[in-house]
Chains A and B, each alone.
Chain A
């Protein structure tokens, strides 16, 4: 779920976040808009609205939406049905917005139009065209003029054939679109009406009493539709950073391998990803800079980029890549430095709520997108956000830009790390539930030993029969944990298998692994602390561990060193470690709560 509250913690303090218009009550928008107006300073953007209908709500809605996009805007409504008159006196406007609705071209026009003969209709059309020319001529020095296309859809949605109203609307629009004013942009409000529905776009009661035709819902959709035009003046997004697993392709490359990930347009699971890659390629061709930020082994991701036959995006399309196990917020900051672009021009997309929220909270300037849970919604969701990058025009220079950024990107920049990751982890309310020798965990524990490649110190594979025998054995301890945070439950995601010597004085950590779904939260340390604490209670004196390298588990190479263990042997086959139980230094992580499963409690022999 996207955050809906107005205040979020960004690592340093609480800031006002981007609360969506559609989620707010009108009175709330009025109040928030006033607050934002008091906070913003600097250059004022003056938007003047000319209309032949009452459009009162657009003032506050547009102001709010612009102000929350950090544009210090003031929206000024013109007088009712005074488009031509007002157009003479708008020299201070930066943007003029025109609602010139056929509904009120003359009294009850949509109905009377159907009774008019061709020559009368022709006269109406001529009159409007003349006025339109006059108005746009008067506004020729205003930087941007947004002119809503005429529409008959409110009246004719159920009409089978084209009628007189349709025809005049079509003629007016043809003329409007043929005009050669550089500042003119025609807005197709049918798209806004389609989003809201005809029925809910209009309020006939308000039209009848106050000449206010459109509903708040319509204005909300309208404001969101035109906002890219305002952002395009220096505020359009320029960079799109992808996570990899389950964002660019279906599956986890580190677990599923090159043949296991899906991205074929001919497969059910792969198709949404293939489609999103095609859309991203279209953005790339318009000059949007693409990048990768993924927790993975770099060579795994490179292999997909180079070798996967169904990849649409290849290495050449990504100007920047940050494939490592560091915090994504940190990686994104480095990317911004490399590209020499502000974080506010970044969009980041990830399938993990954890990663998305982390970036959103630590770097609130970045627009964060989340891969929808229902994958068939992914392409449409992506399409709907492509307007973030809209710039109105694109030149060959844009396409060259990506190349330039690629050259500018200098790798391995050392950046000061920021200290607020812990603050973020605190906010997640992480909780582990620990199981020991629990029969109900056997199947999942066996599965995890078989599937887990990355955070796995020894990569020993065990069957359910094996694990079951450990559970019942006096010499083995089978620890597992499930994890939850305030977003939800991750299920059983960590395992430790401990082998005790016959006297119980020594313990060997045979297996220690974590599912990649829960990495980056320090759960492994909390879990490890707990296990050592238990072994201390059981009077174990010496703990042994080992690291057996594979081509997937480089990230845990120094796990035991970091826990303070001493290296006993270091060979090509791996490293072995040892530590006196009494010498272990507990990390005392307080922000992860640890509970025992209610069936917990069997002591070793």
Chain B
């Protein structure tokens, strides 16, 4: 799952595949604007076949928080 997510981040944010995931967070990463945030959500939902509630949108603010949220959502299923 982590590998798929890493690939997805690379596609969404147009960064090399060998980036360090901990460096990618909404606050510190200038690429991550509100439109990219939408793109990220849509891509995640398709890729992992899950749906986020609107309350969860703001929680998706870094690689690690995304990873833990999709992990817990995938377990719910």
Nearest residue in B to A205 (C-beta to C-beta)?
Answer: B54
Please tell me if the beta carbons of B42 and A57 are within 8 angstroms of each other in the complex.
yes
Nearest CB in chain A: distance from B35 CB, A:
5
Give A226-254 as 1s and 0s: 1 = Cβ < 8 Å from B's Cβ atoms: 00000000000000000000000000000
Give B41-60 as 1s and 0s: 1 = Cβ < 8 Å from A's Cβ atoms: 01100110000011001000
- B residues near A, CB below 8 A? 7-8, 10-12, 14, 34-35, 38-39, 42-43, 46-47, 53-54, 57
Known pairs A31-B11, A34-B14; A26 contacts B43 (CB<8 A):
yes
A49 at the interface (CB under 8 A from B): no
Instruction: List 4 A-B pairs, minimum CB-CB distance, nearest first.
Output: A31-B11, A27-B43, A30-B11, A27-B8
Q: Which of A25, A34, A77, A209 contacts B43 (CB 8 A)?
A: A25
Bound CA–CA A155/B43 (angstroms): 27
Nearest CB in chain B: distance from A421 CB, A:
38
Residues in A with CB closer than 8 Å to B47 are 25-27
Residues in A with CB closer than 8 Å to B42 are 26, 57, 216
Bound CA–CA A57/B14 (angstroms): 15
Bound CA–CA A112/B39 (angstroms): 30
A6-56, CB < 8 A from B: 25-28, 30-31, 34, 54, 56
A34-84, CB < 8 A from B: 34, 54, 56-57, 60, 77
Nearest residue in A to B9 (C-beta to C-beta)?
Answer: A27
A208 at the interface (CB under 8 A from B): yes
Bound CA–CA A577/B19 (angstroms): 72
Q: Which of B11, B34, B53, B57 contacts A27 (CB 8 A)?
A: B11
Residues in A with CB closer than 8 Å to B14 are 34
> Can you add 13 more A-B contacts, CB < 8 Å, to A31-B11, A34-B11, A54-B38?
A25-B46, A26-B46, A26-B47, A28-B11, A30-B39, A31-B7, A31-B10, A54-B35, A57-B39, A205-B54, A209-B54, A210-B34, A212-B38
Residues in A with CB closer than 8 Å to B53 are 205
Residues in A with CB closer than 8 Å to B11 are 27-28, 30-31, 34
Give A193-213 as 1s and 0s: 1 = Cβ < 8 Å from B's Cβ atoms: 000000000000110111010
Q: Which of A57, A77, A209 contacts B57 (CB 8 A)?
A: A209
Known pairs A205-B54, A208-B54, A209-B54; A30 contacts B43 (CB<8 A):
yes
Residues in A with CB closer than 8 Å to B7 are 27, 31
Interface residues on A, range: 10 to 19
- A residues near B, CB below 8 A? 25-28, 30-31, 34, 54, 56-57, 60, 77, 205-206, 208-210, 212, 216
Nearest residue in B to A212 (C-beta to C-beta)?
Answer: B38
Nearest residue in A to B5 (C-beta to C-beta)?
Answer: A27
Please tell me if the beta carbons of A56 and B39 are within 8 angstroms of each other in the complex.
yes
Nearest residue in A to B45 (C-beta to C-beta)?
Answer: A26
Residues in B with CB closer than 8 Å to A77 are 35
Nearest residue in A to B34 (C-beta to C-beta)?
Answer: A210
Please tell me if the beta carbons of A30 and B54 are within 8 angstroms of each other in the complex.
no
Bound CA–CA A120/B34 (angstroms): 35
Residues in B with CB closer than 8 Å to A216 are 42, 46
Residues in B with CB closer than 8 Å to A56 are 35, 38-39
Nearest CB in chain A: distance from B41 CB, A:
8
Nearest CB in chain A: distance from B24 CB, A:
15
Nearest CB in chain A: distance from B10 CB, A:
8
Bound CA–CA A210/B60 (angstroms): 15
With most chain A CB atoms within 10 A of its CB, the pick from B7, B39, B42, B57 is B42
**7 contacts across the A-B interface (CB closer than 8 A):** A25-B43, A26-B43, A27-B47, A30-B11, A31-B10, A54-B38, A57-B42
Please tell me if the beta carbons of B38 and A27 are within 8 angstroms of each other in the complex.
no
Residues in A with CB closer than 8 Å to B12 are 27, 30
Residues in A with CB closer than 8 Å to B10 are 31
Bound CA–CA A212/B8 (angstroms): 21
Nearest CB in chain B: distance from A81 CB, A:
14
Residues in B with CB closer than 8 Å to A205 are 53-54
Residues in B with CB closer than 8 Å to A25 are 43, 46-47
Bound CA–CA A270/B61 (angstroms): 60
Bound CA–CA A199/B42 (angstroms): 17
Bound CA–CA A60/B12 (angstroms): 10
Bound CA–CA A28/B44 (angstroms): 11
Residues in A with CB closer than 8 Å to B57 are 209
Nearest residue in B to A209 (C-beta to C-beta)?
Answer: B54
Nearest CB in chain B: distance from A6 CB, A:
14
Please tell me if the beta carbons of A206 and B38 are within 8 angstroms of each other in the complex.
yes
Nearest CB in chain A: distance from B2 CB, A:
15
